């Protein structure tokens, strides 16, 4: 039985409902719950899952950024002679940074192209379990892709700028 009650005088209302229940159904115990608490408990697992996704996504972004940082440092170290020669020939710091960032950003874009259809399918399957669901649009995937490219450019850009501002004489002499 569902009963809509006011929150004013709640203990007296519950006592009155229990009295009526025992009057009409004496052989069954009086058990009650509040619908908002029940619905809240239904979605508690989704809230916990959401928090876990946020935590582990942050860790994955951090680990990926560290890997990208290491890869860009290695790439900049491997290309110090090329960067030095380009600077001697007259390349600007911006042109060298774009050259170094472009290669690794291309790999990030390939990763996005591979991951978007997989995540689209996973999200669609997950949403099928709900009676009321939203239709997926491209906007969340585009924002996530731009966010990923932004993090990659910032991570790689630091190493690229560091490699581009080195004096070409020292970089060519060390080789």
DSSP 116-140: HHHHHHHHHHHHTT-SS-PPP-SHH
pLDDT of residue 43: 82
In sequence order, the 6+-apart residues with CB closer than 8 A to the CB of 134 are 127
pLDDT of residue 167: 78
- Element holding 173 (H helix, E strand): helix 168-174
| Cα→Cα distances 108→95, 161, 162, 165, Å | 20, 19, 21, 25
| Cα→Cα distances 91→71, 78, 97, 98, 164, Å | 23, 18, 10, 11, 10
Ramachandran bin of 137, using left for φ above 0, alpha for ψ from -120 to 50, beta for the remaining angles: beta
Q: How many other β-carbons are positioned within 10 Å of the β-carbon of residue 36? A: 8
Ramachandran bin of 92, using left for φ above 0, alpha for ψ from -120 to 50, beta for the remaining angles: beta
- DSSP character for 165? T
Distance CA 125, CA 14 (A): 42
Spell out the per-residue pLDDT of the chain, length 175, in tens: 788 888 788 888 889 888 988 888 888 888 888 888 888 887 888 889 999 999 999 999 899 889 988 988 898 888 888 888 888 888 888 888 898 888 888 989 999 999 999 999 999 998 888 788 788 899 999 999 999 999 999 988 888 888 888 877 776 676 5
| Cα→Cα distances 56→52, 59, 82, 151, Å | 6, 5, 38, 17
Nearest to 69 by CA among 151, 174, 1, 168: 151
Distance CA 121, CA 123 (A): 6
pLDDT of residue 175: 57
pLDDT of residue 33: 84
pTM recorded for the entire structure: 0.67
Give yes or no for a contact between 93 and 161, defined as CB atoms under 8 angstroms apart. Answer: yes
Q: Domain locations in the chain?
A: 60-174
């Amino acid at each position: 039985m569902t009963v809509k009650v006011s929150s004013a005088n709640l203990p007296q209302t519950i006592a009155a409902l229990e009295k009526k229940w025992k009057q009409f159904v004496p052989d069954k115990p009086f058990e009650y719950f509040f619908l908002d608490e029940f619905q809240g408990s239904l979605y508690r697992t989704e809230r916990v899952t959401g928090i876990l996704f946020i935590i582990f996504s942050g860790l994955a972004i951090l680990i990926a950024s560290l890997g990208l940082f290491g890869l860009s440092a290695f790439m900049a170290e491997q290309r110090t002679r090329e960067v030095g020669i380009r600077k001697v020939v007259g390349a600007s710091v911006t042109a060298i940074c774009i050259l170094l960032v472009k290669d690794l950003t291309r790999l990030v874009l390939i990763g996005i192209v591979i991951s978007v259809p997989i995540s689209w399918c996973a999200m669609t399957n997950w949403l099928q379990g709900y009676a009321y669901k939203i239709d997926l649009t491209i906007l969340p995937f585009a924002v996530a892709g731009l966010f990923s490219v932004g993090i990659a450019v910032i991570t790689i850009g630091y190493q690229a700028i560091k490699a581009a501002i080195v004096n070409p004489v020292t970089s060519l002499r060390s080789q």
